[in-house]
Structure 1
Amino acid sequence: MLDCIPPDGVAPANGYSHVVVGEGRLVVISGQVALDAKGHVVGEGDAAAQARQVFENLRRCLAAGGATFADVAKLTYYVTDIAVLPEVRAARDACIDTARPPASTAVQVAALFRPELLLEVEALAVIPW
């Protein structure tokens, strides 16, 4: 079980937790992008469609490691335009418990490995012993 702890003296978080503590086996998921099972881009030019595919890929990767979104302690977002964060958050909120969101970091980057990709998301999860 993961615990979200609001630290004293730090401004309240909106949509993420500042501190998440858990004990168990670590599951590390590489950055996922909007590629389908055959390696084709899903939702070219459509941030919402890409975000949904990214979170579906994350779900599948978590399952391969024996985890679910309930076990995610940290998400890191790499976006080519910070303006797509509302679409990313909507896809995330469809997958996580918004009352106990994971810790997160969002970074705008100049580019991803393919120009048609708008975002990449990596995850750290902790499976209880």
Structure 2
Amino acid sequence: MSRPDHLEHLGAPTDVAPGNGYSHVVQGTGRLVAVSGQVALDEHGELVGPGDPATQARQVFENLRRCLAAVGGDFTDVIKLTFFVTDVAFLPAVRTARDEVIDTTRPPASSAVQVAALIRPEFLLEIEALAVLREGPRPS
């Protein structure tokens, strides 16, 4: 993955404990893109991976990839991910899927939240993203 020059990742500011698998601060210049929380639905609206957090996580990251591509971006532009999981035991599967698509030497800032439920009971996780794309023309 090429490293975008419009983003700066700060692993741990002075006097802040280092993060494990995330950057404490990411800043950049360009177009801010917010991607709504994605769940494990395929392009036909069918659930992918019932009861399987690893399969659901891979589908969620594929949906995020497609959303980013629609505005001319990719995972190198992501500055923040927020994970919503119905069980924190799913976080290792989420991190594994995440690490397949991000530059693990420059991870985005991240938050993880356990929730009582998502919009449908079969959804085990939801992930939203913030990205900063280089200035320039928007895809048509």
Amino acid at match of 1:7: P
Amino acid at match of 2:20: N
Asked whether 1:25 is paired with 2:31, we answer yes
Contact 1:27 1:67 in 2 (8 A): no
Asked whether 1:85 is paired with 2:88, we answer no
Percentage identity across paired residues of the two chains: 69
**Partner Cα distance (2:7, 2:89) in 1:** 30
RMSD value, Cα: 0.6
SS at match of 2:80: strand
Asked whether 1:58 is paired with 2:51, we answer no
Q: Which residue of 2 aligns with 1:121?
A: 127
Q: What displacement does 1:114 show?
A: 0.6
Asked whether 1:14 is paired with 2:15, we answer no
SS at match of 2:32: strand
Q: Which runs of 4+ in 1 moved over 4 A?
A: none
Asked whether 1:3 is paired with 2:3, we answer no
**Partner Cα distance (2:70, 2:112) in 1:** 25
Q: What displacement does 1:38 show?
A: 0.8
Q: Which of 21, 31, 44 is residue 50 of structure 2 equivalent to?
A: 44
Q: Which of 63, 76, 81 is residue 75 of structure 1 equivalent to?
A: 81
SS at match of 1:53: helix
Q: Which residue of 2 aligns with 1:101?
A: 107
**Partner Cα distance (2:131, 2:69) in 1:** 11
SS at match of 1:123: strand
Amino acid at match of 2:28: G
SS at match of 1:96: coil
Amino acid at match of 2:26: V
Amino acid at match of 1:4: H
